[in-house]
Amino acid sequence: MKILITGAGGMVGRALVAHASAQGDEVFAHERATLDITQAQAVREVFARERPEAVVNCAAWTDVDGCELNPERALLINAEAVEILAAESRLAGASFVTISTDYVFDGRKEGFYTQRDDPAPESAYGIAKLQGERRAQRASARTVVVRTGWIFGVGGRNFLATVVERARRGEHLKAISDAYGTPTYAPHLAARLRELAARDLPGTFHVVNGGEGTSFLEFAREAARAAGVEDVEIESVSMDSLSRPAPRPRNSRLRCLLSEAIGFAPLPDWREALRDFAKVEGEG
Ligand SMILES: NC(=O)c1ccc[n+]([C@@H]2O[C@H](COP(=O)([O-])OP(=O)(O)OC[C@H]3O[C@@H](n4cnc5c(N)ncnc54)[C@H](OP(=O)(O)O)[C@@H]3O)[C@@H](O)[C@H]2O)c1
């Protein structure tokens, strides 16, 4: 498959480039330096040159608090540019997969969010990502939206790497105990993104690792354990005690109504994924 990947320098982008290359795809990987997705003319030129059969957009402005302080920029990168990519994919005859977020939900529901739940984002990041979903779906009928959350993996500015590093140094750690999500391992997500690009079945999918989900506190404890850092003290804090510019959903656990119905195997439990990640980190 000829697959064009934007945001190839990010945590998910890197994992997808590695996975698609290993599958024997012809991969056109673009970091921001070679393709800024907000530049319509540059996008047009790249598509005309590379003629992809599938496009996976891993580029986004993922700084949730940054988006809150600059909502116009959030809309430019996370919505307008996604529409540009979808429209160019349609013209090129390519399927289009774009990644969205659990932050499109307000977090007030008990239990898991499925595709039957109405999005109601409360942050500028979530609002822009939801617009990105909708604008892409309008621009190309072959759009696949993949909502995911709490991603961990190599190369991310992620919560987990920080926890493990600090725990090893014996530093004092704090984690939120009253916000819940479904962790997702970047390589597992990457494999599913490619499967969806190849299947070319439009729709909205929720892609997360299996299991019941967790709190940041439990996630941090489990990460420390997986990394072999025992007896680590992690102070429990409430989400409200942190004054951050952007609101976050208190519960953003996702579950998919479609994946298994179309024959996709469930992704492994997040605890197992965490142990895989710890092994990779340990080797690195
Ligand atoms: N991380 C999570 O927990 C999480 C949860 C739910 C959903 N998601 C979604 O998952 C996707 C991948 O996230 P990630 O964790 O891999 O984020 P990431 O590591 O921040 O990667 C995003 C990449 O997009 C690039 N980018 C930003 N603006 C761009 C532009 N205008 N043109 C081209 N590239 C641009 C960034 O480059 P620079 O570094 O140069 O800015 C970065 O390499 C995003 O859609 C995100 O919204 C993430």
Residue 265 to residue 249: CA distance in whole angstroms: 28
Does the beta carbon of 43 sit less than 6 angstroms from any atom of ligand 1?
no
Closest-CA residue, ligand 1 atom 39, reads 10
Active site residue 125: yes
Is the distance from the beta carbon of residue 84 to the nearest atom of ligand 1 less than 6 Å?
Answer: no
Name the band, by pLDDT with cuts 50, 70 and 90, for residue 282. low
pTM: 0.97
pLDDT at 141 over 90: yes
| 156: confidence class by pLDDT, cuts 50, 70, 90 | low
Confidence of residue 284 (pLDDT cuts 50, 70, 90): low
pLDDT > 80? residue 158: no
Strand partners, 147: 100, 206
- List the catalytic residue out of 103, 125, 180, 185: 125
pLDDT higher than threshold 70 for residue 157: no
- The percentage of residues in the chain with a pLDDT greater than 90, rounded to a whole number, is 85
Distance of alpha carbon 216 from alpha carbon 250, whole angstroms = 11
Note the pLDDT of residue 154: 85
- Asked if pLDDT for residue 144 goes beyond 90, the answer is yes
Q: If you average pLDDT over residues 186-208, what whole number do you get?
A: 97
Range with the lowest mean pLDDT among 4-8, 36-40, 248-252, 273-277? 273-277
Query: 73 in ligand 1 pocket by Cβ < 6 Å?
Result: no
> Is the CB of 11 inside a 6 Å radius of any atom of ligand 1?
yes
pLDDT (average), residues 25-53: 98
Distance 189 CA to ligand 1 centre (A): 14
Residue whose CB lies within 8 A of the most ligand 1 atoms, among 32, 62, 196, for a mutation test: 62
pLDDT tier at 281, thresholds 50, 70, 90: confident
Atom of ligand 1 nearest to the CA of 102: 6
Report the alpha-carbon distance of residue 218 to residue 214 in Å, rounded.
Answer: 6
d(CA 58, ligand 1 centre) in Å: 6
Residue 134 scores a pLDDT above 80: yes
Nearest CA to ligand 1 atom 43: 10
Q: Which of 96, 21, 8 is nearest to 58 (CA)?
A: 8
Domain boundaries, the chain: 2-156+184-209+253-268
Tell me what pLDDT residue 92 has: 97
For the cut 80, the answer to whether the pLDDT of residue 230 exceeds it is no
Question: Ligand 1: does its nearest atom lie under 6 Å from the Cβ of 32?
Answer: yes
**Spatial separation of the C-alpha atoms in residues 87 and 94, rounded to whole Å:** 10
CATH class of the domain whose range is 2-156+184-209+253-268:
alpha beta
Return the HEC string of 224-277: HHHCCCCCCCEEEECHHHCCCCCCCCCECCECCCCCCCCCCCCCCEHHHHHHHH
Q: What would the pLDDT profile of 56-102 be if each residue is shown by its tens digit? A: 999 999 999 999 999 999 999 999 999 999 999 999 999 999 999 99
Q: Is 37 in the pocket of ligand 1 (CB under 6 A)?
A: yes
Mean pLDDT of 176-189: 97
C-alpha 264/C-alpha 284 separation (Å) is 30
Residues 242-251: what's their mean pLDDT?
95
Average pLDDT on 104-117 reads 98
Whether 7 lines ligand 1, by a CB cut-off of 6 Å, is yes
